[in-house]
Amino acid sequence: MDSLPLEILTKILLNLTPNPSDRLVCHSFDDILTPGCFRRIRTGEFTKDAFDRLVSLSQSRVSRYVKDYEYLVHPPVYRRTYYTHFLLLLGHIRKC
């Protein structure tokens, strides 16, 4: 970014809607946008693959920018077995 001062470029980029792929334009864009792009990490499901990605992220250089981590936990799914049927009869489990 030879023609535009870094301070002006920073103000312009930080006023735009964050887009992680913009970090790939050049090193200056990467330095400016990385903290905002990795401030919040969301995982759709907490699976083994999601956990592996979380471990990988924790070992990368962007881990210092993560402030919030959100993940989705599904409620337990009960299979109809004799035991759950018995508990339903006793009233210990509410029928969904």
H, E, C per residue of 31-65: HHHHHHHCCEEEECCCCHHHHHHHHHHHCCHHHHH
43 and 33 within one domain: no
Can you tell me the mean pLDDT for 52-80?
77
Write down the pLDDT at residue 63.
84
Write down the pLDDT at residue 79.
57
89 and 63 within one domain: yes
Identify the domain containing residue 21 by its residue range.
1-37
Write down the pLDDT at residue 48.
82
For the question of whether the overall pTM of this predicted structure is more than 0.75, the answer is no
Q: Give the total number of structural domains in the chain.
A: 2
Write down the pLDDT at residue 72.
72
Write down the pLDDT at residue 47.
76
24 and 65 within one domain: no
Residue 24 has pLDDT above 80, yes or no: yes
Task: Enter the tokens of residue 7.
Answer: 């301070």
Write down the pLDDT at residue 61.
86
64 and 81 within one domain: yes
